[in-house]
Amino acid sequence: MAVKIRLTKIGRHKDPFYRIVAADSRYARDGRYIEQIGYFDPDKGVENAVINEELALKWLEKGAQPSDTVKSIFSKKGVIAKHASKK
């Protein structure tokens, strides 16, 4: 099972809102997921994204691959740096 950390859309049409989730790569984008890690509102910017760092680090240590967008959010929030320092 290849686990990805990615965004899943839950907002309305022309008013996006995203959950940051750990999901099997075979699941649909807005389908099942294993665990919710946080959420992101693009209208408020990356600075206001809410991430449970404990869960994010747990999944990164287990080998989950973040999508490009999630990787940039994690970088700006400092999660990637914490993960690199633990290695």
The CATH number corresponding to 3-86 among 1.10.40.30, 1.20.1250.20, 3.30.1320.10, 3.40.640.10 equals 3.30.1320.10
Q: Which residues have a Cβ under 8 Å from the Cβ of 61 and sit 6 or more positions away? A: 83, 86
Q: Which residues pair with residue 38 across a beta bridge?
A: 20, 51
Residues 7-28 pLDDT 10s: 999 989 999 999 999 999 999 9
Residues 28-63 pLDDT 10s: 989 999 999 999 999 999 999 999 999 999 999 999
